[in-house]
């Protein structure tokens, strides 16, 4: 293996380059990124960066040490095609990159609504800069979607003194990841912080000619809006793989070692639908830690080794900071799991454990990092590793 091409230059792609070097890959690494700039950290985009308390320099992911990685960068261009018979990645610039192995790390893009001025999604640094400018002119904000991004944006908008309404089509926000009961508990943060939450009503359409001025709901209500933020999930960037032979089912299908059905082609991060040893099913995770950890497993796979971290990394983990509270979640919840608050109280700080039968399968905490850590460790230990 002399050349590895990594497609996608965000956390997962950069982590893949670092992991390959850490595992002593001495060949050529080409890193293709759609954005013009070098990789940056996305979680602050909905929080400190949006609030204006941190800068683009602060959230840069690359450090001086990364020069030693000797990466051959291709920034500002996208992969248009993967030719598995000719072993080449074809860029939109027309360049053919002949390569021995490919790391697919193309991530996901924000799902959106028809374009209208002052309607935003939040995924990239440019998105965050534009939204920050819109927030600076004040007024009313309507956030469509009460998922984690929506909740964090609403929280930040509130700290900036804006009038905020959150609209969620589902009866209970976050019911997918957290279940109905804890979804309701977390959604209560909106009202407690002066943000109106409307649930169970889909958006019919955005009103306004050139610029948005209201959001019309399916029940006929119209919410005045100077700014609208659409937080209705993300779509994996996998269209470029059409015709390549790489199996795609929503995301790029991989085993628990990030291997696709094509030899020497691995997939990591938001674009990968990977078999998860903890969940015992295929899941596509959009968690920051997954984008950090999967590349270490994938690099080992390409180098023909087993990753010593695989068992620990199999337990999914994410956090969300909203309204001054820190939510942490580890594990994999399914419908039918029982949830119980085991420490604290649901209306303040707490630890809630999800069980399937007698077995703990996931843990959620709000402002209880220490107790959460113990439960998370237990989940990992039950995976068979002690590190």
Partner 1 sequence: MIPVCAEGEIAEGTAVRVDNGDRPIAVFNVDGELYAIDDTCTHQDASLAEGWLDGCTVECPLHASCFDLRTGKPTGPPAKIPVRTHSVVVRDGHIYVEQDL
- Which residues of this chain interact with partner 1, rule CB under 8 A? 11, 41, 43, 61, 63, 288-289, 292-293, 309, 312, 319, 328, 369-370, 373, 376, 386-387
- Give the residue among 171, 152, 202 at the shortest CA–CA distance from 318: 152
Residues 203/93, Cβ–Cβ less than 8 Å: no
Cβ distance to partner 1 smaller for residue 3 or 62: 62
CB of 308 to partner 1, least distance (A): 9
- In sequence order, the β-bridge partners of residue 349 are none
Tokens encoding 102: 């490919």
Contact between 219 and 71 under an 8 Å Cβ cutoff? The reply is no
Decide whether 106 or 307 has the Cβ nearer to partner 1: 307
> Cβ of residue 387: shortest distance to partner 1, in angstroms?
6
Residue 373 CB, nearest approach to partner 1 (Å) = 5
Q: Is 75 exposed, middle or buried (0-12, 13-18, 19+ CB in 10 A)?
A: middle
In the complex, minimum distance from the CB of residue 324 to partner 1, in angstroms, rounded to a whole number: 12
* Residue 196: both structure tokens together: 């109106």
Shorter beta-carbon distance to partner 1: residue 261 or 289: 289
Q: How far is the CB of 58 from partner 1 (least distance, A)?
A: 8
CB of 134 to partner 1, least distance (A): 26
Q: Which is nearer to partner 1, 63 or 85 (CB)?
A: 63
Of the two residues 358 and 386, which places its CB atom closer to partner 1 in the complex?
Answer: 386
Instruction: Answer yes or no: are the C-beta atoms of 157 and 198 closer than 8 Å.
Output: no
Distance CA 227, CA 384 (A): 49
Distances (CA, A) of 374 to 226, 312, 351: 44, 14, 11
Q: In Å, what is the CA distance from 56 to each residue of 61, 129, 137, 178? A: 10, 10, 21, 32
> C-beta of 117: minimal distance to partner 1 in Å?
33
Closer to partner 1 by CB, 22 or 136: give it.
Answer: 22
Nearest distance from residue 346's CB to partner 1, in Å? 22
Secondary structure (H, E, C), 253-286: EECCCCECCCCCEEECHHHEEEEECCCCEEEECC
Phi first, then psi: give them for residue 234, nearest 5 degrees: -135, 155
* Residue with Cβ nearer partner 1 (61 or 160): 61
Task: Put the strands of the sheet holding 350-356 in their side by side order.
Answer: 317-322, 325-331, 359-366, 350-356, 338-344
In angstroms, give the least distance from the CB of 61 to partner 1: 5
Q: Which is nearer to partner 1, 188 or 385 (CB)?
A: 385
The structure tokens listed for 44 are 């602050």
Element housing 48 (H / E): helix 48-51
Question: Which CB sits closer to partner 1, 97 or 380?
Answer: 380
């Amino acid at each position: 293996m002399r050349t590895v091409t990594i497609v996608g230059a965000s956390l997962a792609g950069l982590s893949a380059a670092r992991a390959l070097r850490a595992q002593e890959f001495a060949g050529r690494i080409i890193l293709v990124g759609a954005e013009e700039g070098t990789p940056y950290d996305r979680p602050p985009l909905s929080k400190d960066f949006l609030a204006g308390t941190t800068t683009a320099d602060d959230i840069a992911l690359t450090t001086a040490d990364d020069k030693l990685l000797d990466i051959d960068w291709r920034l500002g261009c996208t992969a248009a095609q993967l030719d598995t018979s000719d072993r080449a990645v074809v860029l939109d610039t027309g360049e053919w990159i002949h390569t021995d192995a490919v790391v697919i790390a193309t991530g996901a893009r924000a799902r959106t609504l028809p374009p209208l001025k002052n309607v935003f999604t939040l995924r990239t640094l440019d998105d965050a800069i534009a939204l920050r400018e819109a927030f600076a002119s004040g007024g009313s904000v309507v956030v469509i979607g009460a998922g984690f991004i929506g909740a964090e944006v609403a929280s930040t908008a509130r700290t900036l003194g804006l009038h905020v309404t959150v609209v969620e089509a589902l009866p209970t926000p976050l019911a997918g990841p957290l279940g109905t009961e804890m979804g309701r508990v977390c959604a209560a943060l909106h009202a407690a912080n002066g943000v109106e939450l409307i649930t169970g009503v889909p958006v019919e359409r955005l009103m306004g000619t050139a610029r948005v001025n209201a959001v019309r709901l399916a029940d006929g209500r119209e919410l005045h809006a100077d700014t609208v933020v659409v937080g209705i999930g993300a779509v994996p960037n996998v269209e470029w793989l059409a015709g390549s032979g790489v199996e795609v089912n929503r995301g790029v299908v991989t085993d628990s070692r990030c291997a696709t059905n094509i030899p020497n082609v691995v997939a990591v991060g938001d674009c990968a639908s990977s078999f998860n040893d903890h969940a015992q099913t295929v899941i596509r995770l959009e968690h920051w830690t997954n984008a950090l950890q999967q590349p270490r497993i994938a690099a080992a796979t390409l180098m023909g080794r087993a990753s010593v971290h695989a068992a620990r990394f199999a337990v999914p983990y994410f956090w969300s900071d909203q309204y001054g509270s820190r939510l942490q979640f580890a594990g994999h919840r399914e419908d039918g799991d029982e949830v119980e608050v085991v420490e604290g109280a649901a209306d303040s700080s707490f630890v809630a454990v999800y069980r399937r039968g007698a077995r703990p399968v996931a843990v959620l905490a709000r402002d209880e990092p220490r107790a959460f850590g113990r439960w998370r460790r237990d989940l990992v230990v039950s995976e068979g590793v002690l590190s």
